[in-house]
């Protein structure tokens, strides 16, 4: 199950979320076009993704929700849980913690870091906050594999370097500042300003067309 397209990985994660909701509502089977509708994509794409992971549904009955959830889990989850840290316990960091808390047992946010002495030592939504000085040490002792960066832009490069040195294998950078990581560390960057400017561009485009 190696070479799944990046986009397929993203969609699998989304399918699973939608499927979990279906499962709760008691639905046992679902059609490709139902999944597609939820995600604003085509049924063909859903079927293609599922083909790639080797899942086969039942003709005229659709896909077994429970089975599919489990299969997606086998593919994208690790066998043991993965420990995650959030660096920067500002609004964004706390938003993420609330978002994730209690959602997936596979990925658990085990530590937050900040430089603000008022925050250090406290627990926020169940996540203990440590000082940045302890970053390197705790990454190792808590076996943290992924770091989510929600620090101010000016700290981005430094924090990324420290995360890498401490042995993190994946970084999710929410800072507007691109950072560099060596081969072997997976980097995902997301920039909210870009998204907003993109929306603004297409709004303007549409306006101009009239």
Partner DNA sequence: CTAACAATGTTAACTTTTTAACAAAAAAAC
Partner DNA sequence: GTTTTTTTGTTAAAAAGTTAACATTGTTAG
What residues make contact with a second copy under the rule CB under 8 A?
2, 6, 9-10, 13-14, 17-18, 38-40, 75-78, 82, 84, 90-92, 94-96, 98-100, 103-104, 106-107, 145-146, 148, 150, 169-172, 176, 178, 180, 184, 186-188, 190-207
Pick the binder of DNA from 20, 57, 136, 189 (CB under 7 A).
57
Helices (DSSP H) in 53-191: which residue ranges?
65-76, 91-100, 135-141, 156-166
* Nearest residue (CB) to a second copy, 39 versus 64: 39
Pick the binder of DNA from 14, 39, 45, 108 (CB under 7 A).
45
CB 163 within 8 A of CB 109: no
Taking alpha carbons only, the member of 18, 21, 73 closest to residue 46 is 18
Question: Which phi and psi angles does 24 have, rounded to 5°?
Answer: -60, -40
Alpha-carbon torsion 78, 81, 86, 92, what sign? positive
**From DNA, a second copy, none, interface partner of 204 (C-beta below 5 to 8 A by class):** a second copy
Q: Is 18 in the site for DNA (CB under 7 A)?
A: no
Bridge-based pairing of strands 63-64 and 29-30 is: antiparallel
**From a second copy, DNA, none, interface partner of 20 (C-beta below 5 to 8 A by class):** none
Residue given tokens 């800072």 in the structure block: 175
* Nearest residue (CB) to DNA, 46 versus 164: 46
Q: Is 43 in the site for DNA (CB under 7 A)?
A: yes
């Amino acid at each position: 199950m190696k070479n799944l397209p990046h986009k397929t990985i993203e969609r699998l994660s989304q399918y699973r979320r939608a499927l979990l909701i279906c499962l709760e509502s008691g639905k046992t089977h679902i059609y490709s076009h139902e999944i597609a509708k939820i995600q604003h994509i085509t049924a063909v794409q859903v079927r293609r993704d599922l083909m790639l992971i080797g899942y086969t549904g039942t003709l005229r009955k659709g896909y077994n929700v429970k089975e599919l959830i489990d299969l997606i889990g086998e593919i994208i989850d690790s066998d043991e849980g993965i420990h995650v840290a959030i660096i920067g316990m500002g609004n964004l960091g706390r938003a993420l913690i609330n978002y994730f808390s209690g959602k997936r047992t596979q990925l658990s946010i085990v530590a937050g870091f900040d430089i603000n002495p008022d925050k250090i030592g406290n627990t926020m939504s169940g996540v203990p906050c440590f000082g940045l000085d302890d970053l390197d040490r705790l990454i190792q002792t808590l076996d943290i594999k992924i770091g989510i960066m929600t620090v101010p832009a000016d700290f981005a490069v430094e924090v990324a370097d420290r995360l890498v040195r401490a042995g993190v294998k994946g970084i999710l950078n929410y800072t507007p500042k691109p950072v560099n990581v060596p081969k072997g560390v997976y980097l995902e960057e997301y920039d909210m300003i870009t998204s907003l400017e993109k929306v603004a561009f297409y709004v303007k485009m549409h306006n101009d067309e009239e």
